[in-house]
């Protein structure tokens, strides 16, 4: 079965807790703090792998959990980092957030397009620091350590779009499957009724030194772009192909169809689905050239396409071969015209690939520069926080780092809470609270914790004695 969309639930590893411990040695009565740090939790990583051709592995396996970071230990022993979970996916997999309840896919996270490309979809939790970090000139024996950062699980939608170089596109029964069977080792079902092909087939085609992957997708019909027939869900596979092999039936089919109308129908559907698709490089393959009446239909469509191409260049003749419409008359049954069509396709795919590689190189360089800027920005964003006056002497502080600090604090430990307050002050939280109008004794909320505000910057009733001290 061809699986091209799955939902998986991922959870990175929690961070390990830092350790609170003091050195104990024979003959050393009072050893210093020696609690090691907790290890970082494992990441959940998606990795593109060219060996895979579908998402079938994730049809029944939905849950992926990375290992937690180990806790720190005495003697400055740091906890081990949790192992990552690496989820291998085929090339051409796009990854989005997914809301399990509403069954809606959300923001695009990444598009995995080249072999070995990796993306961390869930970062492991940060390990807590051991008590050795909290020694100051006045606090020689810190009796607290940080907790590890917990992580949460969430759902992702993985969607695979075929990465074929060329896609055989056309109405039902024009002979797309017959063609792929003729030019590659693929053996799809072929029959004289529409919608024989229900899932895409891929084939590898060789032509001299060049080779390319071709896709045979279910036939498109009028209204496909709006979801008619089977075509719609497969239109997205065409999106990935650099070249469209537009297949036309020169036999007229059972209904003696007009070949020019057929051509226009497909173009219209592509255009409606995505205007860019209509502009995609293409080769016209006029199939069933062995059938009676085929010669006239070939002539009609050639005339039509030539006029169209001339109009595009705005002249009466072509100044080079590239301006001519690429039309190939073939028969999947007799093999007539097939070698020429394959050679032209291979050549065009090769040209497009070279172009795309050049563009990918430049844009990858651009992208990594962009990533750096973004990383820098996100570090700043982590440190940012906001203060909200909820009224009635209650203030809420929100922000990534601030919240993480609170979560990693062991609240039963007075010294740890003390330390947290000092860190919040350092970040500027106290100042910001005072500025927002908080007074000593007011309630401060950060994530799920509430505590009383005590400030050096703003006293509810200034103590004269203290002021005197400050003036000294």
Number of residues that bind Mg ion (CB under 5 A): 4
- What would the x/- binding string for ligand GTP be over residues 209 to 228, using CB under 6 A? ---------xx---------
Is residue 237 a contact point for ligand GTP (CB under 6 A)?
A: no
Q: What is the 3-state secondary structure (H, E, C) of 127-195?
A: CCCCHHHHCCCCCCCCCCCCCCCCCCCEEEEEEECCCCCEEEECCCCCCHHHHHHHHCCCCCCCCCCCC
Among 191, 295, 365, 369, binds ligand GTP (CB under 6 A): 191
Among 204, 333, 401, 436, binds ligand GTP (CB under 6 A): 333
Is residue 196 a contact point for Mg ion (CB under 5 A)?
A: yes
Name the DSSP letter for residue 199: S
Q: In terms of Cα–Cα distance, which of 2, 353, 360, 55 is closest to 212?
A: 353
Please answer whether residues 113 and 47 qualify as being in contact, where contact means their C-beta atoms are separated by less than 8 angstroms.
Answer: no
- Give the Cβ contact number of residue 457 at 10 Å: 13
Residues 284-313 that bind ligand GTP (CB under 6 A): 287-288, 290-291
What is the smallest separation between the CB atom of 328 and ligand GTP, expressed in angstroms? 12
Q: Which stretch binds ligand GTP (CB under 6 A): 102-110, 331-339, 361-369, 448-456?
A: 331-339
What is the smallest separation between the CB atom of 200 and ligand GTP, expressed in angstroms? 10
Q: How do 104-112 and 93-99 pair as beta strands?
A: antiparallel
> Around 359, how many Cα atoms within 13 Å sit in the side-chain half-sphere?
6
Is residue 197 a contact point for ligand GTP (CB under 6 A)?
A: yes
Among 178, 265, 345, 409, binds ligand GTP (CB under 6 A): 178
Number of residues that bind ligand GTP (CB under 6 A): 24
Q: How far apart are CA 136 and CA 214, in angstroms?
A: 67
Closer residue to ligand GTP, CB minimum distance, 130 or 203: 203
Closer residue to ligand GTP, CB minimum distance, 255 or 321: 255
Residues 146-185 that bind Mg ion (CB under 5 A): 176-177
- What would the x/- binding string for ligand GTP be over residues 124 to 163, using CB under 6 A? ----------------------------------------
The 3-state DSSP class for residue 366 equals helix
Distant-in-sequence, close-in-space partners of 202: CB < 8 Å, separation ≥ 6 = 53, 162, 164, 186, 213, 214, 215, 216
Please answer whether residues 190 and 178 qualify as being in contact, where contact means their C-beta atoms are separated by less than 8 angstroms.
Answer: yes
As to burial, measured by CB atoms within 10 angstroms (0-12 exposed, 13-18 middle, 19+ buried), residue 88 is middle
Closer residue to Mg ion, CB minimum distance, 220 or 346: 220
Which does residue 304 bind out of Mg ion, ligand GTP, none, counting CB within 5 to 8 angstroms by kind? Answer: none
Q: How far apart are CA 430 and CA 88, in angstroms?
A: 46
Binding site for ligand GTP (CB under 6 A): 172-178, 190-192, 194-197, 218-219, 251, 287-288, 290-291, 331-333
Binding site for Mg ion (CB under 5 A): 176-177, 196-197
């Amino acid at each position: 079965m061809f699986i091209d969309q799955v939902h998986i639930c991922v959870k990175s590893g929690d961070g390990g807790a830092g350790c609170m411990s003091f050195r104990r040695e024979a003959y050393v009565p009072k050893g210093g703090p020696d609690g090691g740090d907790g290890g970082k939790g494992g990441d959940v990583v998606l990795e593109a792998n060219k060996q895979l051709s579908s998402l079938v592995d994730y049809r029944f396996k939905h849950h992926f959990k990375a290992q937690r970071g180990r806790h720190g230990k005495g003697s400055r022993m740091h906890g081990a980092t949790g192992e990552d979970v690496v989820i291998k996916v085929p090339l051409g997999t796009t990854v989005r957030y997914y809301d399990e309840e509403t069954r809606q896919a959300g923001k695009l996270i990444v598009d995995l397009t080249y072999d070995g490309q990796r993306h961390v979809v869930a970062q492991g939790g940060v390990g807590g620091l051991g008590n050795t970090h909290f020694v100051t000139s006045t606090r020689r024996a810190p009796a607290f350590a940080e907790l590890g950062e917990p992580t949460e699980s969430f759902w992702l939608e993985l969607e695979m779009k075929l990465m074929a170089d060329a896609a055989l596109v056309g109405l039902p029964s024009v002979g797309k499957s017959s063609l792929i069977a003729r030019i590659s080792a693929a053996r799809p079902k072929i029959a004289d009724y529409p919608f024989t092909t229900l899932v895409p087939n891929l084939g590898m085609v060789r032509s001299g030194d060049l080779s390319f992957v071709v896709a045979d997708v279910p036939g498109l019909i009028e209204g496909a772009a709006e979801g008619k027939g089977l075509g719609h869900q497969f239109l997205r596979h065409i999106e990935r192909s650099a070249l469209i092999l537009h297949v036309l039936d020169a036999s007229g089919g059972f209904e003696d169809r007009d070949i020019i109308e057929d051509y226009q129908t497909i173009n219209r559907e592509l255009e409606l689905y995505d205007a860019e698709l209509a502009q995609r490089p293409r080769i016209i393959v006029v199939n069933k050239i062995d059938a009676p009446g085929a010669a006239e239909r070939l002539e009609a469509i050639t005339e039509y396409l030539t006029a169209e191409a001339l109009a595009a260049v705005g002249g009466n003749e072509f100044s080079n071969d590239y301006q001519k419409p690429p039309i190939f008359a073939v028969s999947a049954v007799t093999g007539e015209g097939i070698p020429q069509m394959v050679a032209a396709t291979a050549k065009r795919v090769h040209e497009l690939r070279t172009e795309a590689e050049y563009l990918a190189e430049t844009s990858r360089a651009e992208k990594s520069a962009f990533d750096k800027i973004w990383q820098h920005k996100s570090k700043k964003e982590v440190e940012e926080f906001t203060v909200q006056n909820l009224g009635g002497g209650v203030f809420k502080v929100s922000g990534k780092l601030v919240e993480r600090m609170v979560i990693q604090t062991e609240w039963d430990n007075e010294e740890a809470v003390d330390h947290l307050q000092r860190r919040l002050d350092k970040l500027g939280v106290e100042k910001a609270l005072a500025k927002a109008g908080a007074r000593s004794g007011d309630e401060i909320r950060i994530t799920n914790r509430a505590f009383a505000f005590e400030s050096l910057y703003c006293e509810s009733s200034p103590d004269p004695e203290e002021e005197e001290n400050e003036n000294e």
